[in-house]
Amino acid sequence: MTSSPDPRRRLTSDELIAMFVAFLSIGGIFFWAITQQESGFDLGSLLGTPRPTAAPAPLPNASVAPDAPNATVGIAPAAPLPTLPIPQIQATDAPRPNVQNCTPNLQPPAANIPAPAPTLPNLVPSPTTPPAPEAAKPITGFSDVPSDFWAGAYIGELSRRGIIGGFQDRTFKPNEPLTRAQFASFLGKAFGKPKQRQSIDFQDVSADYWAKSSIDDAIETGFMSGYSEGVFRPDQQIPLYQLQIALASGLKLLPQAPASQTLAKFQDAGELPKWSQEKVAAAVESGIVTGYPSAEELTPNRIATRADAAALIYQALVKDGRITK
């Protein structure tokens, strides 16, 4: 019979050395296992215990982490992965959208477009230059201007053009004496001449006088003048020769022949003031003077009538090219 070992037996030196080596080895392995956890070593996998897998940390300076097939679990890579440069794409290399191809087609189908309306001929007559008035067919709307009146054609044409007007009772009063203010009003509507002089503040023409603007225009365009006393005398009746002088001055007419030669055929030429003979001669040569009531007389000092003013202004507009005969 074999006897059981004595529990109180002392270990031999060899046994003590073997135990020390065994504990030292186990401790070394355990210490090594702890230090390898940061490198990916899974001690639980050796013991059969699964370990949760952590998501890999993103690699610096790399757009995609490379796959590492056949890598040994728990073994750190021998060297850090190289940094891959990110290519820089210039703005000009980027493809541009085709703007023409992206434009929506807003044109409706051809079948829905209505046919254009047919072009109608222009039936409105174009404005033409009015013909020169004829004495036999005057165009007047005045009850006191008969068709056979000597100045009926002149009055009718100027009235149609808005240069002269009548009274509220539809009369023109052709034989009524003409005042200087009335003649200035006719001139302002007949001629659009450039201004060459400054207006004058006449003592007898107030700011609210009915013909103030017409008088200023007649002065500034050179058709009429005032008197040396600084007055215009707007309500004064005007003699016939002063109408002829005013039109010749405003149109800047000059005689082509000596005044005495041009005026010699008139029996009453001597009644003209000497200072006015050149202007009256220029008016006669240009055809402004109508020869009424006699082709052999000027009747210069006769008080001009409204009919005289219409006839002279009409002839002056013909001379200035504003009316074509």
CA 36 – CA 42 distance, rounded (Å): 8
pLDDT digits (tens, 9 = 90+) for 247-272: 999 999 999 999 999 999 999 999 99
289: nearest Cα among 275, 64, 255: 255
Summarize the confidence of residues 145-166 as an average pLDDT.
93
Q: What is the mean pLDDT of residues 161-185?
A: 94
Higher pLDDT, 5 or 110: 5
What are the sequence ranges of the domains in the chain? 177-319
What pLDDT score does 125 carry? 34
Bridge-partner residues for 140, per DSSP?
A: none
Question: Percentage of residues in the chain with pLDDT exceeding 70?
Answer: 63
- Residues 6 or more apart from 187 whose CB is under 8 A from it? 214, 217, 218, 221, 223, 224, 246, 250, 313
Tokens of 46: 């050796």
Q: How far apart are CA 307 and CA 150, in angstroms?
A: 9
As a whole number of angstroms, the distance between CA 203 and CA 192 comes to: 26
The confidence score (pLDDT) of residue 70 equals 43
For the chain, count helices (H), then strands (E).
10, 0
Q: Is 250:220 a contact under the CB 8 Å cutoff?
A: no
d(CA 81, CA 187): 106
What percent of the chain has pLDDT above 90?
Answer: 48
Least trusted range by pLDDT, from 9-18, 27-36, 172-181, 292-301: 27-36
The Cα 199–Cα 176 span in angstroms is: 29
Residue 237 confidence (pLDDT) above 80: yes
- Contact call for residues 224 and 187 (beta carbons, < 8 A): yes
pLDDT at 275: 94
Distance CA 168, CA 322 (A): 28
d(CA 230, CA 227): 6
Count other Cβ atoms within 10 Å, centred on residue 221. Answer: 19
Cα→Cα distances 9→1, 4, 89, 212, Å: 20, 11, 84, 157
Which DSSP string do the residues of 301-316 spell out, in sequence order? TSBPBHHHHHHHHHHH
First to last CA, the chain: 174
Decide if 307 contacts 174 (C-beta within 8 A). yes
The confidence band for 40, taking pLDDT boundaries of 50, 70 and 90, is low
Mean pLDDT (the chain, rounded): 75
CA 166 to chain centre: 42
Local confidence band at 94 (pLDDT 50, 70, 90 cut-offs)? very low
CA 174 to CA 138: how far, in whole Å? 14
Compare 236 and 93 and report the one with higher pLDDT.
Answer: 236
Q: Where are the alpha helices (DSSP H) in the chain?
A: 13-35, 43-47, 99-102, 152-160, 180-190, 212-220, 240-250, 259-263, 277-286, 306-319
Interatomic CA distance for residues 135 and 234, integer angstroms: 32
